[in-house]
Amino acid sequence: MPENAVKDQVFLNLKNYFGYDSFRVNQQDIVEAVLNKKDCLVIMPTGGGKSICFQLPALSFKGVTIVISPLIALMKDQVDGLNANGISASYFNSSQSSEEQHAIIENVIRAEIKLLYVAPESLAALQNILTEKYISCVAIDEAHCISSWGHDFRPSYQQLGFLKTTLPNTPFIALTATADKTTREDIVKQLRIDHAQIFISSFDRKNIGLEVRTANNRISQIVKFIKARPNQSGIIYCLSRKTTEQLSTKLKANSIPAEAYHAGLNFDKRSKVQESFIHDKTQIVCATVAFGMGIDKSNVRWVVHYNMPKNIEGYYQEIGRAGRDGLKSHALLFHSYADVIQLQNFASGASNEAVQIAKLDRMKQFSEATTCRRKILLSYFGELLGTNCGNCDVCKNPPQFFDGTIIAQKILSTVYHLKQQEAMGVIIDVLRGAQNATIISKGYQEVSTFGIGKDISWQHWQHFVIQLINQGFCEIAFHKHNALQLTDFSSKVLFKGAKVALTKPVAVTEVKPVVKEK
């Protein structure tokens, strides 16, 4: 078919099969790239519209599009949805009998289905049909699961690396909502799609107001928060199953009808809570992170984090369940020192402990930020926001700023002189002229910025470095022992006279959890 005819057909399919009149940002470019047999990496926030990026091309290909998906539970829904739209699709997983599996394989061979959803561990059973004769495209959903840098690593995803070797001329499309730069690079490497075209959609959800509060008297704060928002639908995320139940009980005692949801409840109970939430019968759910995956509810007005999430990916994904309809929504996070300690304990001993701790640190920096929180959030996903958002607590109630350009220059030039090899601690030691073993053994006392920051305390330097990270002037490389790295913004400060506004450090008063909330 000539190129224009293909394009027209794609638009017709968009309308006829999916009922949409137009593409959202990036969707059209992605669909065209896939149809041109290019490998693609698609980074798009939850609800952004990843599915049609592979479902639409699948309709135009001759053979089958294999969709790798981690959650067997969600596969059925997706396939049912496609079938309801008149698209022939199936899934293949270990829950099926061998007769069923055999029938599906026959369907693939006869090119009778367009999309086949497969769990990664079931791929081996499909070996005979994994050839370019039958397969036209491979989509890898939740692609961050392949990376141990990602927040949801799944060993079964690792075997996907061989797929490209088996199907070298087949277009691969990897999709995820949650990938920082390191994870992104890792996905491309692990999937062996080095030349993949990368599409990053904006992660900015302008309609969600961001707020962080300290966790003193959380429960009474939450009660007040909810009572100020009558008849609004909301989710309260808690770290433990026990907390979800205790909190819902306490809310009920305050005449707020709230249900608990966690993976420890039986299937019936969970479905009931989920259904009743979706249909606006239950207004508020106190839940663990198990709640929300695959829930397509557009009018969630607020999300509260009773406990701090363990990383920014998780936080972003959870607050992203608010305001899918684009209307004004709110995300409130409670920040407590006790939570940080607990999360640190969870991470310690894990196989990727260093990564988890580094990610937790970023979450902590976000919570303690004195600059626009949306800037921080977006810079985490590699997106630089030019101006402050005006819709976060810091923007609305800004701390006092001063001209921190010289301080920033001192920090960034130290990062530069240490060849972007050292983490924050060493940078600060050099600035303060510390004479410790690391400094001496590496000869850092010869660096030109050594000792030029003696007049500022260690904690204050830390406060400034964190602000630079938060404002995108430097970044942490998790895969390089958390070494500080320069960014495109750094050179503007070092060489082009860009000004940096920093906030004065406030006296840090650590709030001890005197009364432990039960």
Binding site for ligand ADP (CB under 6 A): 20, 23-24, 27, 44, 46-52, 296
44 binds, among ligand ADP, Zn ion, none (CB under 5 to 8 A by kind): ligand ADP
* Contact partner, 372, from Zn ion, ligand ADP, none, Cβ < 5-8 Å per class: Zn ion
Q: How many CB atoms lie within 10 A of CB 127?
A: 9
3-state per-residue secondary structure call for 14-55: HHHHHCCCCCCCCHHHHHHHHHCCCCEEEECCCCCCCHHHHH
Residue 45 beta carbon to Zn ion: minimum distance, rounded to whole angstroms = 18
Nearest distance from C-beta of residue 91 to ligand ADP, angstroms:
16
**317: enclosing H helix or E strand:** helix 312-319
Asked if 474 and 487 touch (Cβ cutoff 8 Å), the reply is yes
* Per-residue H/E/C for 283-313: CEEEECCCCCCCCCCCCEEEEEECCCCCCHH
Q: Does 362 bind Zn ion (CB under 5 A)?
A: no
- Tell the smallest beta-carbon distance from residue 484 to ligand ADP (Å): 33
Cα separation, 372 vs 394, in Å, equals: 6
CB of 371 to Zn ion, least distance (A): 8
Q: Which of residues 155-184 bind Zn ion (CB under 5 A)?
A: none
Q: Which does 49 bind (CB under 5 to 8 A by kind): Zn ion, ligand ADP, none?
A: ligand ADP
Rounded-to-integer distance, Cα 474 and Cα 185, Å: 18
3-state secondary structure 249-293: HHHHHCCCCEEEECCCCCHHHHHHHHHHHHCCCCCEEEECCCCCC
Closest CB 20 distance from ligand ADP, rounded Å? 4
Smallest distance from the beta carbon of 191 to ligand ADP, in angstroms? 19
Alpha helical stretches, state H, 110-217: 161-166, 181-191
Residue 52's binding partner among Zn ion, ligand ADP, none (Cβ under 5 to 8 angstroms by kind) is ligand ADP
Contact between 42 and Zn ion by CB under 5 A: the answer reads no
- What span, in angstroms and rounded, lies between the C-alpha atoms of 270 and 458? 49
Nearer to ligand ADP, 35 or 434 (CB): 35
Looking at 362, 374, 410, 463, which residue binds Zn ion (CB under 5 A)?
374
- Whole-angstrom CA distances from 180 to 44, 282, 381, 415, 502 are 12, 35, 5, 21, 25
Residue 374 binds which entry of Zn ion, ligand ADP, none, with Cβ cut-offs from 5 to 8 Å by kind? Answer: Zn ion
- Partner from ligand ADP, Zn ion, none contacting 96, C-beta within 5 to 8 A by type: none
Q: Name which position in 67, 395, 424, 430 contacts Zn ion (CB under 5 A).
A: 395
CB of 398 to Zn ion, least distance (A): 9
Binder among 173, 392, 465, 483 for Zn ion (CB under 5 A): 392
